[in-house]
Amino acid sequence: MLLVSFWVVVAIFADDCLIRPTCWTGEARPQDSTPWLARYSPYEQFRGQIRQPPSAEHWLGTDSRGRDIWARLAHGARPILTLAPLSVLLALIIGGSLGLMAGYYGGIVDEVVMRILDGMIAFPQILIYLVIIAALGASAVNVVLAITIAGAPGIARLVRSLALDIKTRDYIAAAQTRGDPSWYIMLVEILPNARGPIIVDSMLRVGYAVFAIGTLGFLGLGLPPPSPDWGSIVQVGRTAIQAGHPWEALFGSMAIAMLVVGLNLIADGLSEELQRYR
């Protein structure tokens, strides 16, 4: 929680943009915001201070264009903490709905849905990312779309397996005897009783989504420049490692690792707590 909360606080209080109405309406530019925890704008270039090491003026140093690395990491936390949960939520809605129907109805519905999803799972996720974004272009919307499409089949398989087990319980038979509609049984009887494994899996998938967004940014398929994308920060900084300037790639990689490890640890903790009360 501390690792994840650190980046959440940094993202919220990097500057005053989130509490200014003009930022929400699009009237203000990111450069016009007042720095708080970030100290500088992520787009501000300091002349004569290219690839400087960490110092009191620039806590994590500067990049190849003289921009403050800490400011870019702080502002880059906003899109990654927004896009990753959003993509997992959409994948959960789509995959969960398909998995519920396949597990509850069975028969031809199960066969058709699961064979289509099995065909999607046969492709490596990174290949699905590349095909979708290469076809539609690099943008925040397309990144969310790619992660949603790639993640939905795995969630559907999980929900289906849970539904197959839960629908054999006595309270499901009682609900069917009462004449409850199928949608009611799936959403009120089955889904709440399957929430534990789904929550744990979703938390893990948020970590995977963070890693995927960083990977896409590293490959140049993430947020378009000059957005402070963590993956692109590492990609640009790697070229300067052998020249004795590892700060950009190092701190960008550490930011991704901190967030992913934190999310995975939260998922492990939730799993242990849910096992305790079974």
Domains observed in the chain: 60-276 (1.10.3720.10)
Q: Six-digit token pair at 218?
A: 């590293």
Q: How many CA atoms lie within 13 A of 115 on its CB side?
A: 7
Instruction: Give 192's contacts (C-beta < 8 A, 6+ positions apart).
Output: none
Hey, how many other C-beta atoms are within 10 angstroms of the C-beta on 223?
A: 22
User: Whole-model pTM?
Assistant: 0.87
Predicted confidence at residue 85, as pLDDT, reads 93
Q: How far apart are CA 190 and CA 185, in angstroms?
A: 6
What local confidence, expressed as pLDDT, does residue 195 receive? 86
For residue 119, the one-letter residue type is G
Q: How far is CA 199 from CA 205, 209, 210, 236, 256, in A?
A: 10, 15, 17, 35, 22
Q: What is the model's pLDDT at position 254?
A: 94
Q: Give, in degrees to the nearest 5, the angle at Cα 152 between 77 and 221.
A: 45
Measured CA to CA, the distance from residue 97 to residue 26 in angstroms comes to 35
Sequential pLDDT tens for the chain (278 residues)? 999 999 999 988 888 777 665 565 444 455 556 677 888 888 888 888 888 888 888 888 888 888 889 989 998 898 899 999 999 999 999 999 999 999 999 889 989 999 999 888 888 888 888 888 888 888 888 999 999 999 999 999 999 999 999 988 988 899 888 888 988 999 989 998 888 889 889 999 999 999 999 999 888 888 887 788 899 889 988 888 887 888 889 999 999 999 999 999 998 888 888 777 65
Q: 140, 150, 138, 155: which is closest to 102 by C-alpha?
A: 155
Output phi, psi for 123, to 5 deg. -90, 135
Please report the pLDDT score of residue 236 as a whole number.
87
Give me 67's structure tokens. 């921009």
Q: Which two tokens stand for residue 164?
A: 């197959």
